[in-house]
Amino acid sequence: MNKTVEGGKTFLVDGPASVMAVSGKVEVFGYSVKNTNRIVIREGKRLPFAVKEKANFEVRLGENAKTKEVNGDTVPASWAEAFEVLRDLQKKPAVAMVFGGVDSGKSSFCTYLINRLIGEKRSVAVLDGDVGQSDVGPPCTVAYAAVAKPVTDLFELKAENAVFVGVTSPSENVNRTIQGVTSLKAEVLKRKVDFVVVNTDGWVAGEDAVNYKVQLAEKLASDVIFCIQQNSELEPLLVKLEGVRNIRIDSATAVRERSREKRKNLRELGYVKYLANAKVKTWRVSHLNIEKPNPLCLTQKPEYSQNGLLLGLHDAQKRFLGIGVLQGIDCERKSLKALTSVTAAPVNVAVGKVRLDGKLRESPA
């Protein structure tokens, strides 16, 4: 369909859909969209096309996709102010963390910061610490990517390295999550970028969540923490962060709230992405180092099934190769079968707590 939107309004599109701004001046999260670019919006995501000058759109909508036109810009003024604070930091590389609850708009805000920095010719890397809604790496991992051009969705980026955590919430493996994010930050800093933007998960409620976020902030030694607060959910955390420079910012007015099922569906799109063209591979167990905390049982009867468990595959230096799905253990031959897109034979295998069915959908473990 074709849609004309007047200047000063925002055209909201809920995926699955694709949009091309045929004419006019349009921005998405600080990125001036070119009229030749078709932007894909995945299911469960919403993009705001802020119309600066009257624009014509060509829109293709998938099943259950929606559009809406609203007055004004849905990106808060506090986001522009936050960008100026980050841009003006003298220390390089400057590290910025983003805290906020579930569906507060953390990924959107990170995208905005990245686009604005790239627009000013700064070198940027994004470190995705959200194991449950990972955009940069596969689900159940923390990952990072260097960003060379503006993006509308962090999912477009290619992970340069990742750490497999194997769970969908850091609450299930706090230490592994912190270690993973910290090790990746050290790796990112070797690239000599100007800015590192660190996205985090939405686990903020309760003493355990507060302690986790405080530990994360201490380990990463962030120069500034941007806190997206919708009500007062971050107050207990902010009290503990008094010694760290933190700035409260507003949530975007058009943030799309997602159910637990919708968030699971987004993860499943991630499994599909990272297992595209996957094949079943067989490896001798004697050639593998199967890591804790969830080692495979190789002493049970052949009918004992752990099939479907998500695997993190690494080389001899423990560098992440990709994910796999356990397809079977031959106890007699001491061999392991896995569905994976990884072509190199792994040396280190980490076993997750997530189980996938034959259609790569999460099923009870």
Name the percent of the chain lying above pLDDT 70: 96
- Of the ranges 5-19, 152-166, 323-337, which one carries the lowest mean pLDDT score? 323-337
Q: Which residue from 42, 62, 61, 50 is spatially nearest to 21, judged by alpha carbons?
A: 50
Does residue 304 carry a pLDDT above 80? no
Q: What is the mean pLDDT of residues 168-184?
A: 96
Does residue 292 carry a pLDDT above 80? no
From the CB of residue 206, how many other CB atoms can be counted at a distance below 10 Å? Answer: 11
Does residue 146 carry a pLDDT above 90? yes
How buried is residue 305: exposed, middle or buried, by Cβ count under 10 Å (0-12/13-18/19+)? Answer: exposed
Predicted confidence at residue 60, as pLDDT, reads: 97
Predicted confidence at residue 294, as pLDDT, reads: 54
Q: What is the mean pLDDT of residues 139-147?
A: 97
Does residue 293 carry a pLDDT above 80? no
What's the pLDDT tens digit per position in 252-285?
888 777 888 888 999 999 999 999 999 999 999 8
- What CA–CA distance (Å, rounded) separates 11 from 170? 35
Q: What is the mean pLDDT of residues 288-303?
A: 62
Per the model's pLDDT, the better-predicted residue between 291 and 70 turns out to be 70
Predicted confidence at residue 303, as pLDDT, reads: 43
Predicted confidence at residue 126, as pLDDT, reads: 98
- 358 confidence band (pLDDT: 50, 70, 90): very high
Helix/strand/coil (H/E/C) assignment for every residue in the chain: CEEEECCCEEEEEEECEEEEEEEEEEEECCEECCCCCEEEECECCEEEEEEEEEEEEEEEECCCCEEEEEECCCCCHHHHHHHHHHHCCCCCCEEEEEEECCCCCHHHHHHHHHHHHHHCCCCEEEEECCCCCCCCCCCCEEEEEEECCCCCCHHHCCCCEEEECCCCCHHHCHHHHHHHHHHHHHHHHCCCCCEEEEECCCCCCCHHHHHHHHHHHHHHCCCEEEEECCCCCCHHHHHHCCCCCEEEECCCCCCCCCCHHHHHHHHHHHHHHHCCCCEEEEEEHHHCEEECCCCCCCCCCCCCCCCCEEEEEECCCCCEEEEEEEEEEECCCCEEEEEECCCCCCCEEEEEEEEECCCCCEECC
Specify the pTM. 0.93
Does residue 300 carry a pLDDT above 70? no
